[in-house]
């Protein structure tokens, strides 16, 4: 076996590994707590000391998706027996299901606005990134810096005039308005990331295609796009995660029809104070897609969060 000076000894590795795993476990505790709280009953969730072991219940999820009204014992007894498990859980609290909650709709808004703005920003971003990567554009560096600088603006600082502008254009609280807004925020990331990915594709491929009689457009979508597919996919996931998580604009510019989940989840209230299991259930459903995407993205993560500055 060869000896390497840069390879750590097995004892060092063991210590390093233990410490890192310890940190990882501690860092996961709050997340784990969110998830298990979603399966507690409201009394269990606010018990003292905090309960680690408890009888799991889906009451949080039932409360998340329904609105309920309290009824008297007599009315409760006069009702026909519950037809499903949700009814039964709610009846045990002397309530009846009054209808679906707004959560499903808010979640769908997040999906529509997220995917809409992701599609638009990746579409526009790919075109712009290709142009910046392949053509001589006057003042290209300044333009790129301008594009990046728009991302640096504090959202609240531009929210005032956007609020006024959207009010005049009738775009406030609409899906279209939010899609356009999130596209404008995401496009800087899309251009910067995609430019990096396209820069890595050798020009020779396109040159060959051009010599063989392809037009620029053909060379672009038949040669460059398939090569950039991985880059485009990871850029899209980054844009999606951003739109998904965005809160500042959502809370200021939407209140009803186009409200996304992040401003909605904290407003879930139960009878007598916050309904923590329902909040936790909403948070869990909302956070899990992002966790899955993060794991999918792990190879490009660094690149995405530094706007393509650091590549592995």
Residues 43-72 that bind another protein (CB under 8 A): 45-50
Question: How many chain residues are in contact with another protein, going by CB under 8 A?
Answer: 115
Q: Nearest distance from residue 75's CB to another protein, in Å?
A: 32
**48 vs 83 by CB, closer to another protein:** 48
Considering only 71, 82, 158, 175, the residue that binds another protein (CB under 8 A) is 158
> Which residue pairs, CB below 8 angstroms and at least 24 apart, start in 158-166?
159/248, 159/249, 159/252, 159/253, 162/249, 162/253, 163/252, 163/253, 166/253
Q: Restricting to residues 238-277, which ones interact with another protein according to CB under 8 A?
A: 241, 244-245, 247-248, 251-252, 261-263, 265-266, 274, 276
* Residue list 69-98, contact with another protein (CB under 8 A): none
95-100/66-70 β-pairing: antiparallel
Helix (H, G, I), strand (E, B) or coil at 139: coil
Helix (H) or strand (E) holding 66: strand 66-70
CB of 66 to another protein, least distance (A): 21
- Sole window of 58-66, 78-86, 111-119, 207-215 interacting with another protein (rule: CB under 8 A): 207-215
Smallest gap from Cβ 70 to another protein, in A, equals 23
> Angle at Cα 273 formed by Cα 269 and Cα 275, nearest 5°?
50
**Minimum distance from residue 35 beta carbon to another protein (Å):** 10
Using CB under 8 A as the binding rule, whether residue 164 contacts another protein is answered as yes
143 binds another protein (CB under 8 A): yes
Residue number with CB closer to another protein (25 or 271)? 25
Candidate residues 13, 56, 67, 69; the one interacting with another protein per rule CB under 8 A: 13
Residue 205 CA, chain-centre distance (Å), reads 35
User: Please, what is the minimum distance in Å from the beta carbon of residue 87 to another protein?
Assistant: 28
d(CA 312, CA 305): 12
* Tokens at 281, concatenated: 């259930």
Interface of this chain with another protein, residues 120 to 139, rule: CB under 8 A: 124-125, 127-128, 130-132, 135-137
Q: Which range of residues in 56-64, 79-87, 111-119, 140-148 is near another protein by CB under 8 A?
A: 140-148
Strand partners, 70: 95
List Cα–Cα distances, 100 to 2, 64, 103, 180, in angstroms. 66, 9, 8, 30
Secondary structure element (H or E) that encloses residue 99, with its range: strand 95-100
d(CA 302, CA 309): 9
Contact between 280 and another protein (CB under 8 A)? Answer: yes
Measure CA of the first residue to CA of the last residue in the chain; give whole Å. Answer: 29
Q: Which residues, listed in sequence order, are joined to residue 274 by a DSSP beta bridge?
A: 269
- Please name which of 298, 312, 303 lies closest in space to residue 189, comparing C-alpha atoms: 303
| Touching another protein, residues 172-201 (CB under 8 A) | 180-181, 183-184, 187-188, 191
Specify burial of residue 199 (Cβ count, 10 A radius: 0-12, 13-18, 19+).
Answer: middle
At its nearest, how many Å lie between another protein and the CB of residue 242? Answer: 10
**Which of these ranges, 19-27, 57-65, 79-87, 94-102, lies near another protein under the rule CB under 8 A?**
19-27
162 contacts another protein (rule: CB under 8 A): yes
């Amino acid at each position: 076996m060869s000896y390497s000076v840069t390879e750590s000894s097995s004892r060092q590795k063991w210590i390093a590994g233990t410490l890192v795993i310890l940190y990882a476990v501690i860092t996961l505790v709050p997340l784990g707590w969110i998830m298990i709280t979603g399966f507690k009953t409201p009394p269990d969730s606010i018990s003292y000391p905090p309960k680690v072991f408890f009888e799991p219940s889906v009451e949080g999820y039932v409360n998340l998706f329904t609105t309920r009204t309290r009824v008297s014992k007599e009315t409760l007894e006069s009702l026909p027996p519950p037809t499903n498990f949700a009814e039964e859980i709610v009846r045990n609290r002397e309530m009846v299901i009054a209808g679906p909650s707004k959560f499903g709709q808010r979640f769908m808004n997040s999906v529509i606005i997220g995917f809409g703005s992701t599609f638009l920003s990746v579409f526009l971003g790919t075109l712009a990134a290709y142009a910046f990567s392949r053509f001589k554009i006057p003042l290209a560096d300044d333009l790129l810096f301008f594009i990046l600088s728009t991302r640096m603006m504090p959202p609240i600082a531009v929210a005032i005039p956007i609020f006024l502008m959207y009010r005049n254009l009738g775009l406030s609280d609409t899906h279209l308005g939010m899609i356009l807004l999130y596209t404008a925020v995401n496009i800087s990331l899309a251009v910067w990331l995609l430019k990096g990915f396209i820069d890595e594709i050798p020009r020779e491929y396109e040159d060959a295609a051009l010599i063989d009689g392809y037009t620029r457009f053909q060379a672009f979508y038949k040669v460059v796009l398939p090569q950039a597919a991985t880059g485009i996919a990871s850029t899209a996931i980054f844009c999606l995660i951003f739109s998904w998580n965005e809160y500042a604009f959502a809370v200021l510019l939407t209140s009803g029809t186009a409200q996304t989940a992040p401003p909605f989840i904290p407003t879930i209230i139960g009878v007598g104070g916050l309904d923590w299991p329902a909040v936790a259930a909403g948070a869990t459903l909302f956070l899990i897609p992002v966790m899955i995407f993060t794991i999918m993205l792990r190879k490009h993560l660094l690149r995405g969060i530094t706007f393509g500055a650091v590549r592995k």
